[in-house]
Chains A and B, each alone.
Chain A
Amino acid sequence: MQKMVMEEAQGQQDLLYKAVEHMQDLGAEFADAKSQSVRNTGISSVNGELRNLVRKGVGGVCVRAWIGGRWGYGNVSSFDKDAVMKAAEDAVRNAAGDKRSDLSLEPVVVKKHMKAQVKIHPDSVDLTEKIEVVRDLDKVQSIDERIINRIGSYSEEIKDNCLVNSAGSDISWQEVRTLCRAMSVAADGQRFERYYDGPDSTLGFEVVKDTDIEALGRKTAQEAIATLGAVRCPSGNLTVLSDPMITGLLAHEAMGHASEGDEITKKRSFLTDACGKKVASDIICMYDNGTVPGAHGSVPFDDEGTPSTCTKIIDNGVYNGYMHSLETASQLGVKPTGNGRAENFGKRTWVRMTNTYFGPGEWDKDELIAETKDGILTDKMVNGMEDPVGGCFEAKALRGYIIKNGEIKDIVQSFTLTGKSVEILQTVDALSDEVVLDGGMCGKGIEDWVRVSSGGPYMRARMIVGGGQ
């Protein structure tokens, strides 16, 4: 099999050392080399039919040379020594050109070799059992003839990484991610609606074992049917009680992307020079934390070998700090925060989030609803979009409810939320006492997808709501 077990890691390290030495010999001021082997299993079932069942094994090497304030990259989907040395030469050649700066990088030097901390490694579970989970997840959604699509899915990713650099780091680690999901599509002849749910993690197969598959599937089907009766959401500047998913989008899309160090060094972010300034109500704290146990965006090291950290971005309403890669940390004279990430060995490494969330408040969720006179309660998200330049928030909610005099009334169909992020955060007057994280994929611009999570508590604020048609 293609998997690179830890005993084989040393062979990879030797190859990477040679590549780094080669780049230094060719003139690199700093160089790193990373090998990666990724194994995926994906299973999905639609309406009782196994739609997809696939295993993948991809792997290769990324080498980088830093010369005159500029990176040169060489990527190759091969572990062959000659191919990797050729990539090293490409990297040095690509870094050539007019000197950009005298900036030197200051990596944290780490020598560590880690296995994934999971209870049930997916490798130890028979494929039959995984297929059964997916088929069960599909089958249990069959509760009503209005459910026209029952979709069950399972995926696992096992990623083995080795990294060495010219500063002396020598690291290997494994990341395991396991998730399953149910999605139901309901139709009544007039319209379609959908609902989804399911766990995600950097855990092993225990995340599936701990899930009540029948309850999960039945719930998605019931909620999809319920949404068929949804009315159009009112539009305007309204009180919104955002659920953890939408709260997380506000953290991730509106404030998180704008807190990425490269957006700051380019002065592309509306949060440039914001440290020490009031950007939210006093009850708001916000974090990017790559060390949350089991969370989908957690990583022991970023793709430059910097150990993950917890960055406090907003501290009781006051802007506190940014996320950094090696390059942006050096540009701003601070320590790297473990946010230099890449989609895989073939993609660019730059500042990316991990688990980004608002901290909790003191309200019980039900009390918070009861104390809201008029408003909209959101329920799950469709997507969101960043706006580091303009500081605007945009999120699409899958559905929601109208709150009237502290009671949940009509269910409303999908709608859009927007507004200036800082203005929204200034209006936050209540947070629930529990933080929930939701895993997903984050692109920067329009590509370079990395695994992250975002979340927070239920949050009450004023936002512009567009009810759709």
Chain B
Amino acid sequence: MNGYITEKAMQALKKYDQAEVYVSETVVNTVYIDNSKISNVETKTDKGMMFRMTKDGRMGKASVTLNGPGAEEDCLSMADSVLQFSPVNHDMNPYVFPRSAKISVPDVFDRKVAEITPDVLRELAKGVIDNCSVNIPRAQIRVSTTSSHVMNSNGVDVSHSSTLVYGHFTSMTVRDHPGEGIDTFHGTHLTLDPAHIGKELSRKANDAAVCTGFKGTEQMTMILPPGELGDMLFSSVGDAIDGENVKYGRSMWKDSVDSPVASEKLTITDDPTVPAPLSCAFDDEGQPTQKRPVLEDGVLRGFLRDSFCGASTGNGMRRSSVEAQGAYERTPVIKPLNLVVKPGNLTREQIIEQTDRGILVEKFASPEADGLTGRFGLNVRCGYIVRNGEITGVVNNALLMGNMFDCVKNVDLIGCDSTQMGVITVPTMSFTGTELVGN
């Protein structure tokens, strides 16, 4: 059906120098948990399209939901009006040209997800609730099916189908000083393990409930599990390898290709060949993707680009790793497809044993570094103090400060517990040179 709509729309765009049509359709089912009870169940269907075109150096762009007769005409009318008012720019990079796939279609479609019923969703939610010994004040499991189709006037004609499974869970002990736990699940298949999630939620909330405030200031090794490290690396390394940031001169690594920018212990690859939320054989502009080295033994090997930046690496994405609906509304932007940090061979326990003085951060308030500068100063909601290879206390309400561009140069140890966190797959890692500030 998407193919018919896209082809019909391309016919209407023949008068332009370049044209592109992107159509996406999603079905999303979500179950919500409130206070350890199933509250809402939602079913959403969403379908829409985006037109992009150029003529005589002008560009037009518009998107609509396909919500009734005439939506395609509305989209064309809006895009054309944008084009009429657009200033002339003869330096625009062309849209993607058709090329053969460089990788096999990754396994990103799970029929069980596509055929899920509200009862199955409720069972999954019930499994988490039944295995969690503390309250679950707020949680959701969301499963989606997406099909998309992109065509352009250069001959690109690419379809994609995938499923997405996303879970976000909170837990809380009920005491005078309650502890809170958070867990997430990112995947493409219905491999979510409700029992494991329920038990982890219990453990995290119970540990957080016995936190005490950290006092003083101390240089410490920062140990980050995948849940916290994924966002920290994405917000720093992800920004530094973004071709648009390089184009506009705001990447910290803009002049560093083939130079060391990180510890030689660190190797990162963008790997769309394995099941991950954004893995695909062609990106959302129709450019073939491939497994691509980003950092090899600490040496920067290149940047990720879309057609706007030119010489696309197949990283022009409209889809999101957590939210299926509304892909057609988004202009393609550069995204990693699946940044994989090469794991080490240490368990988390062995990393702790090999750390003299550090903090294993179970939960930051918001794990994020400044993409421009790398700086961070993050509130630790729950962290384990490590002294001479042993956990000696659990703390909260302290600020952990550092700079992620320095941290990646100061990698100490790398774990073997790689976990998918959105578009990044990371193990537990430790970094020297950070500072913990308490009250």
Contacts and interface: CB of A to CB of B under 8 A. Distances in A.
A binds B: yes
Top 9 nearest A-B pairs (CB, nearest first) are A416-B377, A466-B399, A94-B41, A73-B42, A466-B377, A75-B44, A127-B85, A77-B65, A385-B366
Q: Kindly state the interface size class of chain A when it binds its partner.
A: 35 or more
A56 interface: yes
A390 B82 CA distance: 48
**Among A58, A87, A265, residue most surrounded by chain B Cβ atoms (within 10 Å):** A58
Interface in B137-169: 137-138, 168
Interface string A411-432: 0011110111000000000000
A131 interface: yes
Given A58-B64, A413-B375, 6 more contacts: A56-B64, A70-B38, A76-B44, A389-B180, A414-B373, A469-B406
B390 interface: no
A75 B43 contact: yes
Interface stretch (B72-80, B107-115, B258-266): B72-80
A382 B370 contact: yes
A374 to B, nearest CB: 18
Contacts of A418: 379, 397, 399
Contact of B399 (A93, A126, A416): A416
Contacts of A80: 67-68
A268 B48 contact: no
**Among B174, B378, B437, residue most surrounded by chain A Cβ atoms (within 10 Å):** B437
A108 to B, nearest CB: 22
B313 interface: no
Interface of B: 30, 32, 34-35, 37-48, 59, 61-68, 71, 74-75, 77-79, 81-82, 85-87, 89, 91, 118, 122, 135, 137-138, 168, 170, 172, 174, 178, 180, 217, 248-250, 252, 322-323, 325-326, 329, 331, 365-366, 368, 370, 372-373, 375-379, 381, 396-397, 399, 401-403, 406, 435, 437-439
Contacts of A263: 137
Contacts of A414: 370, 373, 375, 377
B376 A468 contact: yes
18 contacts: A2-B78, A54-B82, A54-B331, A55-B79, A58-B67, A70-B38, A73-B41, A77-B67, A79-B67, A79-B68, A126-B85, A148-B249, A149-B250, A192-B250, A266-B34, A385-B379, A394-B378, A464-B439
Contacts of A288: none
A59 B48 CA distance: 10
A419 B401 CA distance: 15
Nearest to A389: B180
Contact of A468 (B32, B71, B368, B377): B377
A139 interface: no
Given A54-B62, A54-B331, A149-B248, A73 B43 contact: yes
Interface string A383-419: 1010101101010100000000000000001111011
A318 to B, nearest CB: 21
Contacts of B48: 58, 77
Contacts of B381: 387, 390, 392
Contact of B45 (A57, A75, A267, A445): A75
Interface stretch (A44-52, A111-119, A292-300): A44-52
A72 B47 CA distance: 21
Given A73-B41, A100-B37, A268 B46 contact: no
B65 A464 contact: no
B78 A57 contact: yes
Contacts of A47: 248
**Among B59, B87, B168, residue most surrounded by chain A Cβ atoms (within 10 Å):** B87
Contact of A53 (B41, B82, B376): B82
Contact of A447 (B38, B322, B331): B322
A390 B205 CA distance: 12
A346 interface: yes
A97 B323 CA distance: 26
A1 B75 CA distance: 8
Contact of B372 (A93, A94, A192): A192
Contacts of A348: 30, 32, 40, 42
Contacts of B399: 235, 416, 418, 464, 466
Contact of B67 (A46, A60, A126): A60
A316 interface: no
Contacts of A27: none
B132 to A, nearest CB: 15
A73 B121 CA distance: 14
A94 B121 CA distance: 11
Nearest to B62: A55
Contacts of A46: 248
Given A55-B62, A59-B65, A469-B406, A383 B82 contact: no
B225 to A, nearest CB: 17
Nearest to A37: B67
B222 to A, nearest CB: 12
A193 B375 CA distance: 11
Interface in A439-454: 445-447
Interface string A188-199: 000111100000
A148 B406 CA distance: 23
A262 interface: yes
A56 B60 CA distance: 12
Given A57-B62, A418-B399, A72 B40 contact: yes
Contacts of B35: 265-266
A183 to B, nearest CB: 11
A185 B245 CA distance: 11
B437 A78 contact: no
A464 B437 contact: yes
A236 B437 contact: yes
B428 to A, nearest CB: 22
Nearest to A384: B366
Given A387-B365, A394-B379, A237 B372 contact: no
Contacts of A468: 375-377, 401, 403
A187 interface: yes
A75 B142 CA distance: 14
B325 A57 contact: no
Contacts of B373: 191-193, 414
